[in-house]
């Protein structure tokens, strides 16, 4: 059970009667509260502002916090898959602690992370590619709209920067399944507080991170090398989230140094096939590009990434929830993420890796099946994910995302990234194995040394310098042959053990 760090359980803060703590994270505490005016439960996200934040900077932080809340409100009003705030204010505790908060509508359900863990605990197979893509389509199209969100002075790019399964909420409301993105704008408010206080989140190992390490993009790990964050950062986050749902487990794990090595290793990309998931060539190619180390090699536009993913699986092209500047009308057969009619069954086969191996049309037919989510007692109809504006409760608080950097993008790094690979390493040979491997070569070399010494001694003492031999062959030739044979045996055994 999370602690009531602010000591407000049982108190009334404005219109909110605080009932209990739901969750606690590095940047905030989530409470369940009762809205006395609306007579309904709500979720209060109370932010942990650094205690070193000077009094004169609190007003600046509140201005930034209010801007983020207003932006979240505009996003949620236009994009149904984004959570909608109900209220924002500041609580002054009895101890004088400065506590900004956002009130969200209470919603029953679970995160995608919980859903993946539940399937694994029940030993059920992970979701299929069709199911995963259909489930995440409202998220992808919502992010596409947020990256080019229309504003009074032109399009505005709003980047999430902390996409992960714990920030995707699967909720059930009025008997329908809805998918929501949590914590939009929280990362930027978090940055404002830490930057003003001159602080960064630091791990126990001394490595500073301002994002969730298992989902951080290369430009978040190494901003001096790869430049600032942007829409390409959300492309990475959504791709990692999708691969985790396909694999049914966390795909970038270990301590922070190991995770950084995996993310920055160009030779090993966390694509579906590298995680043991059988997918078509086109889908693997789309994820390989979305998970490129250099942001310049990645999809710059999340909509383009998702268009390619849907095309690879033979799905009708979906459309963003709002009209976007610079994007033409959807082609015939395109659908919105919340459209309910089922798509016609595909009749073509999908190419898979391997000679002559194809995936039958029944794989694409999964697009017309319902998605069974029994742990929540509901089913998702084919190509239908309603996105009514309801606000779920975020149960996960991750470390903050980094602030924008003024340095030019993709500046060369003076220090190369550590080349650490998460793939299991080959077991090293023991001392006993090495002794057994080189015992014969060492004996042959020793025999060659003894023969050479005997040859030299006999030549100098008995034969007036004449070397022992038969015809053109000399005893020295035998010694050399034994050495060469020993080297050959050692090299052969070394290569054989490497296999």
Give pLDDT tens digits along the chain (499 positions).
Answer: 678 888 899 999 989 999 999 888 767 788 999 999 989 999 898 888 766 667 777 788 888 888 888 888 999 999 999 988 899 898 877 777 778 899 987 878 899 999 999 999 999 999 999 999 999 999 999 999 999 998 778 888 999 999 999 999 998 888 888 999 988 766 555 555 444 545 444 443 444 456 789 999 999 999 999 999 999 999 999 999 999 999 999 999 999 999 999 999 998 899 999 999 999 999 999 999 999 999 999 998 999 999 999 999 999 999 999 888 666 444 444 444 443 333 333 333 444 444 334 444 444 444 444 444 444 444 444 433 333 333 333 333 334 444 444 444 444 443 444 444 444 444 555 666 677 777 888 888 888 888 888 888 887 777 777 777 776 777 778 888 888 888 888 887 777 765 5
Helix and strand numbers (H, E) in the chain are: 13, 15
* Residue tagged 């205690």 (tokens): 51
* Spatial separation of the C-alpha atoms in residues 193 and 27, rounded to whole Å: 10
Residue 5 CB neighbour total at 10 angstroms: 15
Contacts 24+ apart (CB under 8 A), 471-480: 475/451, 476/451, 476/452, 478/448, 478/451, 479/447, 479/448, 479/449, 479/451, 479/452, 479/455, 480/448
Contact 160, 187 (CB under 8 A): yes
| Sign of the dihedral through C-alpha 308, 309, 312, 314 | negative
Kindly report the CA angle at 277 between 271 and 283, in degrees rounded to 5?
55
Per-residue burial over 353-374, b = 16 or more CB atoms within 10 Å of its CB, e = otherwise: eeeeeebeeebbebbebebebe
pLDDT at 463 (0 to 100): 73
Cα 430 vs. chain centroid, distance in angstroms? 36
Residue pair 313/279 in contact (Cβ under 8 Å)? The answer is no
Say if pTM beats, i.e. exceeds, 0.85: no
Query: Who's near 182: CB < 8 A, 6+ residues apart?
Result: 83, 111, 166, 167, 168, 169, 392, 394, 396
Classify domain 107-380 at the CATH class level: mainly alpha
Q: What is the largest CA-CA distance in the chain?
A: 118
**In 167-230, which ranges are continuous DSSP H helix?**
186-197, 218-221, 223-226
């Amino acid at each position: 059970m999370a602690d009531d760090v602010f000591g407000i359980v049982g108190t009334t803060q404005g219109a909110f009667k605080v009932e209990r703590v739901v969750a606690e994270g590095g940047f905030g505490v989530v409470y369940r509260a009762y809205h006395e005016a609306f007579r309904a439960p709500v979720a209060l996200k109370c932010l942990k502002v650094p205690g070193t934040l000077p009094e004169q900077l609190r007003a600046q932080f509140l201005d930034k916090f209010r801007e983020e809340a207003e932006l979240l409100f505009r996003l949620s009003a236009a994009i149904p898959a984004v959570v909608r705030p109900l209220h924002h204010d500041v609580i002054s505790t009895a101890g004088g602690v400065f506590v900004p908060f956002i009130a969200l509508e209470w919603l029953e359900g679970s995160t995608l992370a919980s859903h993946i863990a539940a399937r694994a605990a029940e030993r059920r197979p992970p979701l299929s590619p069709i199911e995963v893509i259909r489930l995440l389509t409202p998220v992808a199209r919502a992010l596409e709209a947020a990256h080019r969100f229309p504003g009074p002075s032109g399009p505005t790019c709003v980047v999430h920067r902390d996409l992960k399964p714990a920030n995707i909420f699967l909720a059930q409301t009025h008997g329908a399944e809805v998918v929501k993105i949590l914590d939009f704008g929280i990362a930027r408010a978090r940055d404002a507080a830490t930057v003003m206080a001159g602080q960064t989140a630091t791990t126990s190992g001394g490595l500073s991170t301002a994002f969730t390490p298992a989902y951080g993009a290369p430009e978040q790990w190494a901003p001096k090398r790869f430049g600032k964050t942007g829409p390409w950062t959300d492309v990475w986050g959504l791709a990692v989230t999708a691969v985790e749902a396909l694999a049914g487990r966390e795909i970038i794990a270990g301590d922070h140094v190991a995770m950084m090595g995996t993310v920055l290793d160009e030779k090993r990309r966390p694509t579906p096939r590298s995680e043991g998931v059988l997918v078509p060539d086109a889908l693997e190619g789309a994820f390989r590009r979305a998970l490129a180390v250099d942001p310049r090699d990645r999809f710059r536009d999340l909509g383009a990434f998702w268009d390619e993913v849907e095309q690879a699986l033979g799905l009708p092209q979906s459309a963003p929830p709002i009209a976007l500047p610079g994007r033409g009308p959807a082609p015939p057969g395109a659908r919105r993420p919340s459209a309910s009619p089922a798509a016609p069954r595909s009749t073509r086969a999908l190419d898979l890796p391997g000679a002559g191996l194809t995936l039958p049309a029944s794989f694409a037919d999964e697009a017309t099946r319902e998605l069974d989510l029994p742990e929540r007692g509901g089913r998702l109809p084919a190509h239908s994910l309603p996105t009514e504006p309801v606000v779920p409760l975020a149960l996960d608080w991750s470390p903050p995302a980094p602030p924008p950097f003024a340095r030019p993008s993709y500046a060369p790094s003076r220090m190369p990234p550590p080349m650490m690979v998460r793939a299991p390493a080959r077991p090293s040979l023991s001392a006993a194995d090495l002794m057994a491997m080189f015992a014969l070569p060492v004996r042959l070399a020793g025999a060659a040394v003894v023969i050479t010494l005997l040859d030299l001694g006999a030549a100098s003492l008995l034969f007036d310098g004449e070397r022992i031999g038969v015809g053109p062959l000399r005893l020295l030739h035998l010694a050399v042959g034994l050495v060469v044979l020993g080297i050959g045996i050692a090299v052969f055994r070394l290569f054989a053990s490497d296999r």
